Structure formats: structure tokens, C-alpha cells
Amino acid sequence: MFQDTRPAALDASGGEDPWAPFRISHPQECADVLRRLRDGPVPVILNGPDGSALTTTLWAIDEAHGRISFSAHPGPLALDRLVEANEAVAVAYMESVKLQFDLQDLMLVRGAQASTLQCAWPASIYRFQRRNTFRVRTPVRNGPAARFRHPSIPEMELSLRVLDVSIGGCALWFPHDLPPLQAGTQLGEVTIELDAETRFGVGLSLQHMTALGHGDTGVRVGCEWHKLGGSAERVLQRWIDQTQKRRRLLALD
């Protein structure tokens, strides 16, 4: 129903608002969600009206002045397009919940040490529970990897970092210095190594590419599992469950 990094269409049809049960409008509740995004820090995808997208993080919230600020690294074309459009839709994940909220009055503020993308405080935030399962963000160091041959250059073997994983698919980090991949490509033989003891073979369908911001030199490749066998699905589900349990225990310490 809702793609991972694309905003859901929330146009109301008829007299009754079908999205009201998913909407947070109380200022204190909105502030609490924004603080959790900031403190994560949780990756946030800013989607422009022209289809451009930029991955960033929430850097600061200013309740007194009704403004929020995202980390920004001047240079990406997507950032320029967002500022020019002066509006965007933010999408983020906190475990199994997809968050979505509109942004208005975008302004790039350049500082001596860093730049930020400021905008008006969102009037409301939507929360959508994923039907699929938990999406697990993976560690940067010694995290899962996807190994396969480049579809256009079979002699080139690739090993890409897995940014996050769910029972429905995964996201890969693809460096800019490699021959590009195309959305819609089907990969028939991919080895997913979740850790030193856990791996499985699967096919991948490349769904969409999202430029990463604040200095990253790569793109986020959203993928869907293709022909995920029963044994591989059980291995994946067990790894996701164990990862969730470990994180809950750490949160209690």
C-alpha cells in the first residue's frame, strides 16, 4: 500500500477524511515524534513535487519559532530543486512505523561550519504501520552485505552494504564511482550475508534510486526480494526477530 521511501497519496475523497486515524495534530505529540527523529538520528527522505528526493537527518527543532532544520550539504541537484520548489514531503521510518509529513517554506541556511535546510514546523504528522514486518536498520561497521555480478558487466563482482532489511526487501548503498544500476533491473543470483553465520541466496528487483545527502557519495537502492524461498524466508525472519530483541534489551539498560 505504501512504498518504502515515497510519500503516500493523502488526498481526501468525499466528506469524511479517511486519513484522520493516522494523523497526529496535537503540537506536543508532533514535537515528541520530531525529537525522536532528531535523537535517532533517523534517516529522512525529502521528496520534492518534481520527483526529486534527498536523504538527510533532522538536525534541530525550534518549538519557540516554529521551525525545524535538516542537515544539508550544498551541491546535490535534488537539494537545489527542493529549495526552488519551496515544499517537500518528508518520509522516515522508526522501526515498523512509517512517518510522513509536509514541509513548507524551505530555506537553505549556510553557516561557517555547516549548512542546514530550514522549514516551517509541520502542522501534522501521519503514522502508518507497515503491513509487512519490521524494517531493521543495519550497523555501518561489519553490517550485512549483498554480493552479485553487475548486470551490465558480468565480470565485475559487487559487494554492497545493506542499509536496512525487512521480510519484503532491503536497501543497498551504491557508490557513485561504480557503473550505475537502473531501476527495474532484475538480479537473479544475489548472496545476502547478514552476519558471519547467516547467509542465503535470492533474486532482487531494483525498485528505486534515492540520492544520499550531506557528503555521501552514493545512492540508496530500494530492492524487493524476488523468489525468496521458504528456508531463506525463515532465516531472514529469525535474524530480524533476534535483532529486534537485542535492540529492545539494549534500550532497557
Contact, 171 vs 4, CB < 8 A? yes
Range 89-113 average pLDDT:
87
Asked whether residue 14 carries a pLDDT value surpassing 60, the answer given is: no
Contact, 1 vs 119, CB < 8 A? no
C-alpha distances in Å from residue 208, one per residue of 33, 134, 166, 182, 253: 27, 20, 16, 8, 38
3-class secondary-structure state, position 5:
coil
CA 74, 76, 80, 82 torsion-angle sign: negative
Taking all residues of the chain, what is their mean pLDDT, rounded to a whole number? Answer: 84
pLDDT tier for residue 151 given thresholds of 50, 70 and 90? very high
* pLDDT of amino acid 2: 40
The one-character DSSP state at 103 is E
* pLDDT of amino acid 1: 35
User: Does the predicted model carry a pTM greater than 0.75?
Assistant: no
All structural domains of the chain, each given as residue ranges with its CATH number in brackets, are 20-129 (2.30.110.10), 136-252 (2.40.10.220)
User: Which triple of cell numbers denotes residue 21?
Assistant: 486515524
C-alpha distances in Å from residue 107, one per residue of 31, 52, 69, 120, 123: 21, 17, 9, 9, 18
Q: 42-62, pLDDT tens digit by residue?
A: 899 999 998 888 889 999 999
Residue 71 one-letter amino acid:
S
**Of 28, 73, 36, whose CA–CA distance to 55 is shortest?**
73
